[in-house]
Chain A
Amino acid sequence: TTSTDTSFLSDAIFHYDEAAQTKFQQEKPWSNDPNYFRRVKISALALLKMVVHARSGGTIEVMGLMQGKTDGDTIIVMDAFALPVEGTETRVNAQADAYEYMVDYSQTNKQAGRLENAVGWYHSHPGYGCWLSGIDVSTQMLNQQFQEPFLAVVIDPTRTVSAGKVEIGAFRTYPEGYKPPDDPVSEYQTIPLNKIEDFGVHCKQYYSLDITYFKSSLDCHLLDLLWNKYWVNTLSSSPLLGNGDYVAGQISDLAEKLEHAESQLAHSRLGPLMAPQRKKDEESQLAKITRDSAKITVEQVHGLMSQVIKDILFNSVRQ
């Protein structure tokens, strides 16, 4: 294959077949299978816009909509746009404030020749991980009732900086009362103590989708041009200095969890009288705390390593 053929193939995903999408909407294959959609493909442009928007919100939750299409069991996100709302975790339906904006935006898009419909919404969880809270679950359930196919994406911009990779999750909720046949296996993530109840109560009401990314040939060219600028920014910044508040919060949260675990262990002097299952839960609680502490430490050590390497490379050479 020539490079032209490859770029043609990679750009083919951007073609929007209105007839096929309309047919898919009419068939509604997701109505018979709550786990129908399994994969998400996000374009580089949409990802960049969402992450930049999430990061710009600082410690305040922000939200936006995603536009795209479907392809079998895959939801393809072509683009995203921010909504003029904030603090999405504090209200039941934050989206309501932005309905007029959404309608105007969608109409203008169509006039401009962008045929893609809204396929989901994204919002940020600054510093507390990618999952759906109770409010998020009810919002998404509502969306899945009236706006299918619809996807929920959560981005954690703070952990993105500290981990050095985009912390993102894509979710779809199950219908009310539905019990999934198997427990969904998800990657472990630290949840702060003040959010752990909200997380635990609702974690079985949704499942996560696999995320992959794609870019057009023009995106490739533009990103290549920005490569040097990216490296200058990466080398100039330090997660140790930039994310100090977040790390302090993580350590404080860890200390609280330790106290919590300690007080529960103190009660377990009743040892033999306690049910074995409860003992096992406490062990796994300590194991979780150990894993959290290891993660915080590793991120700090990574940050320090990069500082030391930069010092050796750029400060040890003299004329």
Chain B
Amino acid sequence: MDIEQKQAELIDHFVNQASTLKASAIWPLIIEATSHPSLFAFSEILSTPTVSELEGTENSLCLDVLRLFAHGTWSDYKSNAGRLPQLVPDQVLKLKQLTVLTLAEMNKVLPYDQLMQELDVANVRELEDFLINECMYAGIVRGKLDQLRRCFEVQFAAGRDLRPGQLGNMLETLSNWLATSDNLLVSIQEKIKWADSTSELDKKHQKDVEDRVEEVKKSLF
């Protein structure tokens, strides 16, 4: 939520700019957006009419780059490097940060080896520096670096832009969660009722026993 608050203004700024610029002048804006150190979300810019109209035109590569940053990873760029324009260092950094977010979506415990492979990092020290300086300090992930087990335990990762088809999964998960919570509440209510009725029965039984004791005492006297 902090990340969203931080980048809300930036998103508005870039969306406004994208709305006013012509298609031919959009590329510098896309470079600026994808290089910005505090911006990790691009679906709003993608959905502006100026940008979405780039599909199938001579500037469609700009759209592809923006889509890469919205949904893709560093590996995706490497496998399409021939087709896509060269990225500037800031864009490379941004893409690697977004790659960490994608990996954190799939697993909570990320082995160092996997991270080093995905991020093209030579050694553990460099990887840890990257995770600490570029990811944790940027506020996009929170977690623990376990040097003994050589893994990164992710406690929190900022959300990336949704891929097509992801919404269905999310809705299903939320429905399941809601159903579980509702069932739990019903169970708790039932247990409360059971506890109350058992307590009433118990009190009644105790009173009956005491009355019986009094009766017997009186009859003895």
Contact = CB atoms under 8 A, between A and B. Distances in A.
Q: Report A-B touching, CB under 8 Å.
A: yes
Interface of A: 309, 312-313, 316-319
Contact of A312 (B169, B173, B176, B184): B184
Given A317-B173, A319-B169, A319-B173, A309 B184 contact: yes
Contacts of B181: 313
Nearest to A309: B184
Interface in B29-52: none
B180 A313 contact: yes
B173 to A, nearest CB: 6
Interface of A is mostly: loop
B165 to A, nearest CB: 13
Interface of B is mostly: helix
A317 B176 contact: yes
Contacts of A313: 180-181, 184
A312 B181 CA distance: 8
A317 B169 contact: no
Interface of B: 169, 173, 176-177, 180-181, 184, 188
A317 B181 CA distance: 10
Contacts of A309: 184, 188
A317 B170 CA distance: 12
Contacts of A319: 169, 173
B58 to A, nearest CB: 40
A272 B181 CA distance: 60
B210 to A, nearest CB: 14
Nearest to A317: B177
A318 B172 CA distance: 10
B110 to A, nearest CB: 16
Nearest to B176: A317
B164 to A, nearest CB: 17
Given A312-B184, A313-B180, A313-B181, 13 more contacts: A309-B184, A309-B188, A312-B180, A313-B184, A316-B180, A317-B173, A317-B176, A317-B177, A317-B180, A318-B173, A318-B176, A319-B169, A319-B173
A313 B176 CA distance: 11
A312 B184 CA distance: 8
Contacts of B180: 312-313, 316-317
A312 B169 CA distance: 20
B203 to A, nearest CB: 15
Contacts of A316: 180
Contacts of A312: 180, 184
B194 to A, nearest CB: 14
Nearest to A319: B173
A53 to B, nearest CB: 31
A60 to B, nearest CB: 33
B44 to A, nearest CB: 25
A-B pairs, top 7 by smallest CB distance, nearest first, are: A317-B177, A312-B184, A319-B173, A317-B176, A316-B180, A317-B180, A313-B181
B193 to A, nearest CB: 16
Contacts of A318: 173, 176
A279 to B, nearest CB: 16
A317 B179 CA distance: 10
A76 B184 CA distance: 43
Contacts of B184: 309, 312-313
Contacts of B177: 317
A312 B176 CA distance: 12
A283 to B, nearest CB: 14
B74 to A, nearest CB: 23
B155 to A, nearest CB: 12
A312 B177 CA distance: 10
A313 B180 CA distance: 7
B78 to A, nearest CB: 27
Nearest to B172: A319
A85 B132 CA distance: 43
A7 B181 CA distance: 36
A309 B177 CA distance: 13
A319 B188 CA distance: 25
A318 B184 CA distance: 16
